[in-house]
Amino acid sequence: MHSRTADTDPADTQDGPHTAAPWWTTAVVYQVYPRSFADSNGDGVGDLGGVRGKLGYLAELGVDAIWLSPVYPSPQHDNGYDIRDYQDIDPVFGSLAEFDLLLAEAHELGIKIVMDLVVNHTSDEHPWFVESRSSIDNPKRDWYWWRRPGAAGAEPNGWGSAFSGPAWTLDETTGEYYLHLFATQQPDLNWENPEVRQAVYSMMNWWLDRGVDGFRMDVINFIAKQVELVSGPAAATGGGSPMGAQIHEYLQEMHRAVFAGRTGEHLTVGEMPGVSIQDAVLFTDSARAEVDMIFQFEHVSLDQGTHKFDPLPRSLVPLKQSLARWQVGLAETGWNSLYLNNHDQPRLVSRFGNDTEFRYESATLWALVLHLHRGTPYIYQGEEIGMTNVTFDTIDHYRDIESLNHYREAVEQFDQSPASVLAGVHAMGRDNARTPMQWDDSAHAGFSTGTPWLAANPNFPRINVATDRAAARSVFAFYQRLIELRHTDPVVALGAFELIEPDHEHLYAFTRILDGVTLLVLANVSDAPLTVQGEWLPDDISGAELLLGNYPGDGSAALRPWEARLYRL
SS3 sequence of 260-321: CCCCCCCEEEEECCCCCHHHHHHHHCHHHCCCCEEECCCCCCCCECCCCCCECCCCHHHHHH
pLDDT digits (tens, 9 = 90+) for 13-37: 444 443 589 999 999 999 999 999 9
Domain boundary residue among 118, 139, 158?
118
Q: Which of 64, 78, 116, 271 is catalytic?
A: 271
Strand order through the sheet with 545-549: 496-500, 507-514, 517-524, 564-568, 545-549
Look at residue 303 and tell me if it is in a domain: no
pTM across the whole model: 0.93
pLDDT for 542 equals 66
Q: Let me know if residue 176 belongs to a domain.
A: no
Contact predicate 384/476, CB 8 Å: yes
Q: For the residues 550-562, what does the mean pLDDT come to?
A: 85
DSSP H/E element including 355: none
| Residue 295 within a domain | no
Mean pLDDT of the residues in the chain: 92
Q: How many independent structural domains does the chain possess? A: 2
- By CB neighbour count within 10 A (0-12 exposed, 13-18 middle, 19+ buried), where does 6 fall? buried
User: To 5 degrees, how large is the angle CA 315–CA 321–CA 323?
Assistant: 105
Give whole-number Cα distances, 154 to 68, 150, 170, 232, 539, in Å: 39, 5, 10, 12, 69
Is there a domain that residue 307 lies in? no
> Residue 303: pLDDT above 80?
yes
The answer to whether residue 212 is domain-embedded is no
The span from the CA of 227 to the CA of 204, in Å, is 25
pLDDT value at 155 more than 50: yes
Q: How confident is the model at residue 85 (pLDDT cuts 50, 70, 90)?
A: very high
CATH number of the domain that residue 500 is part of:
2.60.40.1180
Checking if the pLDDT of 266 tops 60, the result is yes
- Domain end: 84, 118, 152, which one? 118
Q: Please determine, for residue 410, whether its predicted confidence score (pLDDT) is greater than 70.
A: yes
By three-state DSSP, how is residue 555 classified? Answer: coil
530 occurs within a structural domain: yes
Alpha-carbon span 36 to 56, nearest angstrom? 18
Alpha helix (H) ranges present in 330-474? 348-351, 359-371, 401-408, 418-428, 431-434, 465-470
Residue 218 falls in the annotated catalytic set = yes
Residue type, 354: N
Active site residue 310: no
Range of the domain at 559: 493-568
Q: Single out the catalytic residue among 155, 218, 290, 400.
A: 218
| CATH code for the domain in which residue 112 is found | 3.30.750.90
Q: Which of 101, 118, 135 is the last residue of a domain?
A: 118
Whether residue 551 is contained in a domain is answered as yes
pLDDT at 4: 35
